[in-house]
Amino acid sequence: MGICHGKPIETQQSQRETNNPSEFPSDHPTPTKPPKASSKFPFYSPSPLPNWFKNSPSSNSNPSSVSSTPLRIFKRPFPPPSPAKHIRALLARRHGSVKPNEAAIPEGSECEVGLDKSFGFAKQFSAHYELSDEVGRGHFGYTCSAKGKKGAFKGVDVAVKVIPKAKMTTAIAIEDVRREVKILRALTGHKNLVQFYEAYEDDANVYIVMELCKGGELLDRILSRGGKYSEEDARVVMIQILSVVAFCHLQGVVHRDLKPENFLFTSKDDNSSLKAIDFGLSDYVKPDERLNDIVGSAYYVAPEVLHRSYGTEADMWSIGVIAYILLCGSRPFWARTESGIFRAVLKADPSFDEAPWPSLSVDAKDFVKRLLNKDYRKRLTAAQALSHPWLVNHHDDMRIPLDMIIHKLVKAYICSSSLRKSALRALAKTLTVAQLTYLRDQYTLLGPNKSGLISMQNFKTAVLRSSTDASKDSRVLEYVSMVSSIQYRKLDFEEFCAAAISVHQLEGMETWEQHARRAYELFEKEGNRPIMIEELASELGLSPSVPVHVVLQDWIRHSDGKLSFLGFVRLLHGVSARAFQKA
């Protein structure tokens, strides 16, 4: 349950939620090769990760970046610590399982002395339920089947997650349990999320009573099918996973441990529905904030988690790994050690050349590739993934949910210069039918008036319609209230498309160059004009300390003083003054 394990699958099974021995087909390490930039395209925006997080504990390319190495004493710096060891130490410290000779300086209130292990949950668990066989075991607790003895659940078979209080030896571990119950209680009701019933406690344990899913893990179902699914069956699984994850993300909850072991089928039937379980590592995240604690499972952890700055996009990476496994039966990133797995996650590209990938549809491959983009800015959101051509015509009974990224993009658009707004309007005119369908769905969810216009207040009311207590705890409602308070004119669908475009996501597509070239042609006709460097600097909000004639000289054509193609592409990205100062 959340421990980062990278040992071969036989060893890994002892830490899973069940005790069923099983293993994937043998894999081979993924070759490491750097991402390639198109030589035909003049502007390439690499992932920010290698440059933004030079002091990351997971980076082993720069020994001097390890701040704990006493360089002034030793002639040669020690090699940087293994990211696997770093994560193991962090998890051990988080849950109080550090051995005496491995103790580290506590972070915050991590001493067991004086810890309050009273949660305020109901008492007398044994009077209401009778525990039966153990059905799963994780790193910090175990799950049993049980039967209700009285009350609303009398005679009902349930699952009970038992978490011993003796293992709650840190304030963080206690807060994890408190938050898990709070999130389950707030989110319960979604058809693809395990239903929460009640929480109890006594002096020894916390008991979380939930729906009993009798169909087994998704991992076991994959293995029973010979290690992989057909495209059609994989679609059914992915739609259910994306549906519940989109719901969680809209409420400001990131799961942080998505993997096949954490999805259960309700029954043994082939058409049984799938349920997400184990929110023990889940957390709240506000749309404009980042998390920094390293949690998860090695094979499914996103690169930015290792760099300790991530949001809901980390869950989408994990879903990409699950999709890769479903379709081909092997892991996209594999090594014999935990450190090797993390190096592969950070540096290697998954292979799409070996069987069965050449025989799979172009849409299936594109779907997986767009989830496994190492640059989290270019990754699909859950709502966008449901709108992807590979899935869009296969879930007629489910509406695409509201996407919180729309609020972030519209806010950025409103705060942009008039010149950037013109550039984005030109780019919006190059969107495909599939991309416009997603935007039309989002526009409809915002509730346009009879004239087909939406106001900023619509962004708040749309979220309120599907909000839960989790959206308050995650401060999502606080964020959307801030967005809705911005003074701006009502948007028609055309301007909404310009405002809701993610340039980074478009850049992650193979068709990005065509989009950009076509948009520049339109911009030349409708929005481009002669502009002085000083005026452009003012449009971009650059400070007087930035040497504008140096950094902006390639933005403007010398022939007529208009914005060049390079300047147009950089303008689309909304380059900040801070980025210029770094340059």
Residue boundaries of the structural domains of the chain: 122-209, 214-391, 402-527
pLDDT band at 84 (very low <50, low <70, confident <90, very high): low
Q: Does the structure show a pLDDT above 90 at 86? A: no
Q: How many CB atoms lie within 10 A of CB 386?
A: 25
This prediction has a pTM of: 0.81
Query: At 474, is the secondary structure helix, strand, or coil?
Result: coil
Q: What angle do CA 580, 53, 475 make, to 5 degrees?
A: 90
Q: Does the structure show a pLDDT above 80 at 470? A: yes
Q: What angle do CA 377, 380, 386 make, to 5 degrees?
A: 165
Q: Does the structure show a pLDDT above 90 at 64? A: no
- pLDDT, one tens digit per residue, over 244-255 is 999 999 999 999
> What's the CATH fold of domain 122-209?
Phosphorylase Kinase; domain 1 (3.30.200)
- pLDDT, one tens digit per residue, over 152-193 is 999 999 999 999 999 999 999 999 999 999 999 999 999 999
- For the chain, first and last CA: distance in Å? 43
Tell whether residue 161 is among the known ligand binding residues. Answer: yes
pLDDT at residue 576, rounded to an integer: 52
pLDDT at residue 537, rounded to an integer: 86
Q: Does the structure show a pLDDT above 80 at 127? A: yes
Query: At 340, is the secondary structure helix, strand, or coil?
Result: helix
* pLDDT, mean of residues 506-527: 94
Query: At 254, is the secondary structure helix, strand, or coil?
Result: strand
- What would the CATH number be for the domain defined by 402-527? 1.10.238.10
> Of 223, 201, 213, 215, which is closest to residue 141 (Cα–Cα)?
201
pLDDT at residue 68, rounded to an integer: 35
Q: Does the structure show a pLDDT above 60 at 16? A: no
pLDDT band at 42 (very low <50, low <70, confident <90, very high): very low
Q: Does the structure show a pLDDT above 70 at 54? A: no
Q: Catalytic one among 257, 283, 315, 349?
A: 257
> Of 563, 548, 506, which is closest to residue 379 (Cα–Cα)?
506
Rounded-to-integer distance, Cα 359 and Cα 576, Å: 43
pLDDT at residue 137, rounded to an integer: 87
Question: Strand 142-148's sheet: what is its strand order?
Answer: 129-137, 142-148, 157-164, 205-211, 196-201
Length of the chain in terms of residues written? 583
> Of 173, 149, 147, 151, which is closest to residue 160 (Cα–Cα)?
147
pLDDT at residue 94, rounded to an integer: 57
Distances, alpha carbon 176 to alpha carbons 164, 182, 312, in Å: 13, 10, 18
Q: How many CB atoms lie within 10 A of CB 175?
A: 13
* pLDDT, mean of residues 334-361: 95
Rounded-to-integer distance, Cα 391 and Cα 238, Å: 8
Q: Which residues contact 433 (CB under 8 A, 6 or more apart)?
A: none
pLDDT band at 488 (very low <50, low <70, confident <90, very high): very high
Find out whether 441 and 387 touch, Cβ atoms under 8 Å: yes
Q: Does the structure show a pLDDT above 60 at 530? A: yes
29 compared with 459, residue with greater pLDDT: 459
- pLDDT, one tens digit per residue, over 31-41 is 444 444 444 44
Is 363 designated active site? no
Q: Does the structure show a pLDDT above 60 at 118? A: yes
At residue 216, what are phi and psi to the nearest 5 degrees? 85, 175
pLDDT at residue 56, rounded to an integer: 43
Query: At 137, is the secondary structure helix, strand, or coil?
Result: strand
pLDDT at residue 90, rounded to an integer: 57
- What would the CATH number be for the domain defined by 214-391? 1.10.510.10
Query: At 136, is the secondary structure helix, strand, or coil?
Result: strand
312: tokens are: 């809901």
152: tokens are: 């609303």
pLDDT at residue 297, rounded to an integer: 93
